[in-house]
């Protein structure tokens, strides 16, 4: 009898450990009902226990169980199939890791090879990582595997599917599968109809801990509005006073417009750069006449700045106001003009490029640690004075002519000791920041052509650095999995944002400077409060490394682009994806919103610039009714370059789009 007791308590403990609550309950009930259980007379239970003892060492059960579960799932009812399919992937990876953990490496490999193709489409990158796991020590060492092992996966499933699954598992007595499911999957059973297939995105990113935490974090309040007393606001107020004089002015100008436009089109053919500024004006002048018709956009809420902002001089303010007044209104029918800067003869060494706000300066960071800055205005003048011949070679040959190589067409900034991965201009283009593999960020003055400060703080290569929209502050992101906030006058970072599970690959400021967004190799985008340094939003949905971010000018939306060419639009307040924008076939290196936020431009490694309509839903109510798919954002135009991957994009204040890329023969 004592023996019996021991067995009972052992079984109970075992069931508890494995999380078989139902079985545990059953056992307890049985014990209450009839104190001594005769195991030998109860064939079911005996069989059950027999299975357990067997499954401890019988690795084939995993393979067998999984393949049965798989075929059962595939032959299940169509309505519930996609929900049940979601279960397969976690079961697959955990079975694999279980096998590895138990030391059956050979079997683990055959198991992996047998079934990994099912998940290749959705999870190819995860699988690539897991494929390399070949021993127990790897499981512990690899962060991805560890976080998978430690955390449960949440799967939303409807009542009926859940019932089906349980029924199947009980009927077939596939204990190995039951164990895996109990241990690693947390079912959120919902009553009613099964969810739609498109909900899949939630399951795609298995990053463990974040699932619960993310939803918690995403409930925090954020203030996405624009800054109080911004220039644009002031312009709106002034607008009332100015409008009369402006109209008169516009009328006067209208006669000139046609002329100058014609000229600029010719200019575009011969030497685009010479006529650039003129064209910019011409375009704007045409828009001016159309301006009064455009409705003022609904005002975004205003928020107070959390940082002390630098003071702007009145002249600068005036010039910005002038630009704002002359801005072209872009929409799905009025597309922007795009000026493309092509880097030639880079010998595969260009890592990044950046364009100043007005497009007059272009910087390139090279893998030979140098930073080069071209003054496009000067380049244009010289090309103009020399006869307008094919501009490709004339400019470069002119400048390099000096025998000592002293005269270059660019300003060379040397100081870094590793590849330069990112460069950014301050809003007024008087400073450049560059980040490098040598773990430093350097501040350069474009007026003095000299290095001013070297910021040391990161421990690993700094992948990205971005000036805040008001200047003075900047944010950096690094391989050391942190993002940091700096101000120009301090050599120590002001804030360190830690939390990403992998490299932080890109960083972007919110327009009101109170938040920064970071994109990471862990396939999430996070939004951080600059003042407190806390993570306030986690955006989950990308399937690969995030390469570029952009904030809409009204502060409400964010776009992120990834390695696969997917662009996602996020609503900052809800933390939800508005819609994915599909179209690019390769890495999206750069994203930019137009100044009033109606058009999103994306530049990609597939040698195209794409323009997206991001205001369809709000601006065209008629279309909504017809299409019945109101939230759908659409591609407006694909501008193909001649084998130049597009590295960076920038809208000027007047809504002229600048793009930069490198001419590469082998793409």
Which residues from 415-434 bind other proteins, rule CB under 8 A? 419, 421
Cα–Cα distance between 335 and 586 in angstroms, integer? Answer: 24
Shortest distance, position 427 Cβ to other proteins, whole Å: 22
Binds other proteins (CB under 8 A): choice among 505, 522, 529, 554: 505
Residue 129 is a binding residue for other proteins (CB under 8 A): yes
3-state SS string over 516-564? EEEEECCCEEEEEECCCCCEEEEEECCCCCEEEEEECCCCCEEEEEECC
Whether 389 and 401 have beta carbons less than 8 Å apart is answered as no
Query: Which residues, numbered 64-123, are part of the site for other proteins (CB under 8 A)?
Result: 105-106, 109
367 Cβ contact list (under 8 Å, min separation 6): 348, 349, 350, 351, 419, 420
What distance in Å separates the CA atoms of residue 205 and residue 298, rounded to the nearest whole number? 36
344 binds other proteins (CB under 8 A): yes
Backbone angles phi, psi at 343, to 5 degrees: -85, 130
Instruction: Give the single-character DSSP code of 607.
Output: S
- Binders of other proteins in range 566-585 (CB under 8 A): 583
- Residues 232-261, interacting with other proteins (CB under 8 A): none
Does residue 389 bind other proteins (CB under 8 A)?
no
Residue 182 or 617 with smaller CB distance to other proteins: 617
Judged by beta carbon, residue 323 or residue 503, the one nearer other proteins is 503
Which of residues 461 and 493 has its CB atom nearest to other proteins in the complex?
461
Smallest gap from Cβ 172 to other proteins, in A, equals 30
Q: Does 265 bind other proteins (CB under 8 A)?
A: yes
Three-state SS at 588: strand
At its nearest, how many Å lie between other proteins and the CB of residue 486?
A: 20
Instruction: Kindly tell me which of 255 and 405 has the beta carbon lying closer to other proteins.
Output: 405
CB 552 within 8 A of CB 558: yes
By the 10 Å C-beta count (0-12 exposed, 13-18 middle, 19+ buried), 451 is classed as: middle
Of 158-217, binders to other proteins (CB under 8 A) are none
Told to check if 268 binds other proteins by CB under 8 A, we report yes
Options 53-61, 125-133, 227-235, 252-260: segment touching other proteins (CB under 8 A): 125-133
Q: Residue 588, interface with other proteins (CB under 8 A)?
A: no
Site membership for other proteins, residue 593 (CB under 8 A)? no
Structure-token pair, residue 132: 């390399």
Residue 365 to residue 371: CA distance in whole angstroms:
5
Q: According to CB under 8 A, which one of 162, 410, 539, 557 is a site residue for other proteins?
A: 410
Long-range Cβ pairs for the range 448-451 (8 Å, 24+): 449/411, 449/413, 451/413, 451/415
Nearer to other proteins, 373 or 568 (CB): 373
The interface region with other proteins, picked from 189-197, 232-240, 390-398, 426-434 by CB under 8 A, is 390-398
Does 667 participate in binding other proteins (rule CB under 8 A)? yes
Of 35-43, 61-69, 441-449, 625-633, the window that binds other proteins (rule: CB under 8 A) is: 625-633
Residue nearer to other proteins on the CB measure, 284 or 514: 284
Pick the binder of other proteins from 169, 362, 441, 549 (CB under 8 A). 362
Closer by beta carbon to other proteins, 348 or else 492: 348
Tokens of 632: 């759908």
Compute the C-alpha angle 157/160/163, nearest 5°.
95
Assign 377 to helix, strand or coil: helix
Least gap, CB of 211 to other proteins (angstroms): 24
């Amino acid at each position: 009898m004592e023996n019996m007791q021991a067995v009972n308590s052992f079984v109970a403990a075992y069931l508890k450990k494995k999380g078989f609550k139902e079985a545990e309950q059953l056992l307890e009930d049985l014990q209450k009902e009839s104190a001594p259980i005769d195991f030998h007379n109860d064939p079911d239970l005996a069989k059950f226990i027999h299975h357990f003892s067997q499954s401890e060492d019988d690795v084939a059960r995993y393979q067998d169980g999984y393949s049965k579960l798989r075929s059962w799932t595939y032959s299940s009812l169509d309505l519930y199939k996609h929900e049940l399919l979601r279960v397969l992937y976690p079961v697959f990876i955990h079975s694999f890791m279980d096998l590895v953990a138990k030391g059956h490496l050979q079997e683990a490999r055959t198991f992996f090879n047998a079934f990994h193709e099912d998940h290749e489409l959705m999870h190819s990158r995860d699988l690539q990582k897991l494929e390399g796991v070949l021993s127990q020590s790897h499981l512990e060492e690899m962060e991805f595997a560890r976080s998978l092992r430690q955390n449960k996966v949440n799967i939303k499933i409807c009542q009926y599917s859940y019932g089906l699954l349980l029924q199947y598992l009980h009927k077939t007595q596939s204990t190995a599968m039951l164990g895996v499911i109990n241990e690693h999957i947390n079912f959120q059973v919902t009553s009613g109809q099964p969810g739609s297939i498109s909900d899949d995105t939630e399951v795609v990113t298995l990053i463990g801990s974040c699932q619960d935490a993310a939803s918690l974090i995403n409930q925090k309040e954020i203030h996405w509005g624009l800054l109080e007393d911004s220039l644009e606001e002031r312009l709106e107020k002034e607008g009332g006073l100015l409008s009369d004089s402006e109209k008169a002015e516009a009328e006067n100008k209208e006669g000139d417009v046609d002329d100058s436009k014609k000229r600029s089109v010719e200019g575009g053919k011969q030497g685009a750069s010479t006529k650039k500024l003129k064209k910019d004006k011409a375009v704007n002048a045409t828009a001016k006449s159309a301006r009064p018709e455009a409705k003022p956009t609904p005002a975004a809420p205003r928020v107070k700045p959390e940082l002390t902002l630098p003071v702007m001089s009145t002249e600068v303010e005036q010039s910005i106001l002038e630009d704002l007044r002359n801005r072209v209104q872009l929409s799905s029918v009025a597309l922007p003009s795009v000026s493309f800067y092509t880097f030639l003869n880079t010998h595969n060494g260009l890592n990044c490029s950046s364009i100043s706000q007005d497009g007059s300066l272009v910087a390139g960071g090279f893998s030979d640690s140098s930073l080069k800055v071209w003054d496009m205005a000067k380049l244009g003048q010289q090309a103009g004075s020399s006869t307008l011949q094919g501009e490709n070679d004339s400019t470069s040959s002119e400048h390099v002519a000096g025998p000592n190589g002293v005269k270059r067409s660019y300003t060379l900034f040397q100081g870094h000791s590793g590849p330069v991965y990112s460069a950014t201009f301050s809003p007024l283009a008087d400073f450049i920041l560059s980040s490098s593999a040598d773990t430093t960020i350097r501040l350069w003055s474009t007026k003095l052509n000299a290095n001013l400060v070297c910021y040391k703080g990161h421990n690993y290569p700094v992948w990205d650095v971005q000036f805040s929209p008001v200047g003075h502050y900047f944010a950096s992101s690094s391989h050391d999995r942190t993002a940091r906030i700096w101000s120009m006058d301090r050599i120590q970072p002001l804030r360190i944002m830690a939390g990403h599970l992998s490299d932080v690959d890109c960083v972007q400021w919110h327009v009101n400077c109170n938040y920064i967004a970071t994109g990471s190799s862990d396939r999430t985008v996070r939004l951080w409060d600059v003042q407190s340094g806390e993570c306030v939003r986690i955006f989950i949905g990308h399937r690969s490394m995030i390469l570029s971010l952009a904030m809409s000018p009204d502060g409400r939306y964010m776009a992120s682009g990834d390695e696969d060419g997917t662009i996602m639009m996020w609503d900052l307040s809800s933390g939800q994806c508005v819609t994915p924008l599909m179209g690019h076939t390769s890495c999206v290196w750069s994203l930019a919103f137009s100044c009033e936020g109606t058009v999103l431009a994306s530049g990609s490694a597939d040698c195209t610039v794409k323009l997206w309509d991001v205001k369809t839903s709000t601006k065209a109510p008629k279309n909504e009714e017809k299409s019945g798919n109101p939230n759908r954002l659409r591609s407006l135009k694909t501008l193909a370059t001649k084998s130049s991957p597009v590295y960076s994009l920038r809208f000027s204040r007047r809504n002229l789009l600048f793009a930069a890329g490198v001419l590469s023969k082998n793409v």
